[in-house]
Amino acid sequence: MKSIAWFAVASVVAGSLLPLSLRVHAQKNAGESLPVWAWPLLPPGTSSAPGVRPAGEVKHVPGSSASYTDKEIPSLFLVPDWFPQEHPAMPQVVAVGRAPGVNACGHCHLPTGMGRPENMSVAGLPKGYMMEQMADFRDGLRKSSEPRFGSTEHMILTVQHATPEEIEAGVDYFASLKPVKWIRVVETDRVPVTKVGALMMVVADAAKTEPIGDRVLEVPEDLEQTELRNPHLGFVAYVPVGSLKKGKALTQTCVACHGKDLRGVGDVPSIAGRSPSQMTRQLIDFQTGARNGKHAVMMKPVVQGMTLPQMVAITGYLASLRP
């Protein structure tokens, strides 16, 4: 890992900042949270339940003849499959899962495998890598720096309850898919005012703006369609001006492991075109020790001295690439 040790030096983006590992530790000691844009959690005591319960109203999305009710769409054991002709037949563990404990994989990751900011884009990831990660979740080697973050906890519980055959069936399905361009990256100094939604950031008031600061703000292109789990509408990621140039420079040595196009080599995963929210969480999880295992051993020296502004630039640039 000598070729990538330069990541551990002082930040070229904001050299006066403490390494994120130290800053995270200080934040925890002070009772503060991790960056809310990476771990969007509602404030303590705030209910995530909608004000009006689903009434069984039938829903549709443009271009699809399918229909689901607003009671079915949030179900962890039923995946709205709006465009079944666009992907292979889903195995049962992906399409419906089973009770108790084995949530339908496609509920979070979608039938396309492209996922949402609160989870992971798994389309086209190497089978060997995904099988390793399933074992890490099961064996307690992969957790979250924020224990309350629901998607990680759901993943751990699902893997612990699933059979080896179910795990392999789900992995084979997602490995067979081709990732698509899902995220539009925009460099800007100011962003719409946002708030925490359903484990992701959403626009609170499009008419008002605020400085972006050292953040990546990843929000749905169309919140209503995203909540219907329409796989045709993705996300926009706002990043600070200059992020793409800085991120490109910072990722030059990533090619040693992830390939010259950053789309993976062998069992090393692709990092091009993936969610910047998800990638930021993983960098921080490597740094805080929440994520361990074979690939974590290789990543930890890389992220040891990495600052938050560096992570913003790196993940913003990676998200801008073709997956």
pLDDT in tens, 289-310: 999 998 899 999 999 999 999 9
The verdict on residue 84 lying in a domain is yes
Q: How far apart are CA 146 and CA 199, in angstroms?
A: 12
The verdict on residue 116 lying in a domain is yes
The verdict on residue 149 lying in a domain is yes
- Considering only CA atoms, which of 106, 68, 108 is closest in space to residue 90? 106
Q: What is the pLDDT of residue 295?
A: 86
Better pLDDT: 161 or 28: 161
The verdict on residue 118 lying in a domain is yes
Q: How many domains does the chain have?
A: 1
pLDDT in tens, 84-136: 999 999 999 999 999 889 999 999 999 999 999 999 999 999 999 999 999 99
Q: Are 112 and 87 contacting, i.e. CB atoms less than 8 angstroms apart?
A: yes
The verdict on residue 160 lying in a domain is yes
For the chain, list the strands marked E by DSSP.
Answer: 58-59, 68-69, 183-187, 190-196, 201-211, 217-220, 235-239
The verdict on residue 108 lying in a domain is yes
Read off the tokens for 197.
Answer: 């939604």
Count the Cβ atoms, other than its own, within 10 Å of residue 9: 10
pLDDT in tens, 221-230: 999 999 999 9
Q: Would the pLDDT of 235 be above 50?
A: yes
Q: What is the pLDDT of residue 159?
A: 97
The verdict on residue 6 lying in a domain is no
How far separated are the first and last CA of the chain, in Å rounded? 25
Least reliable range by pLDDT among 50-59, 96-105, 119-128, 261-270: 50-59
Please report, for the domain that includes residue 169, its CATH number.
1.10.760.10
Sheet of strand 235-239: strand arrangement: 183-187, 235-239, 217-220
What domain range is 144 assigned to?
58-175
Q: Would the pLDDT of 13 be above 90?
A: no
The verdict on residue 304 lying in a domain is no
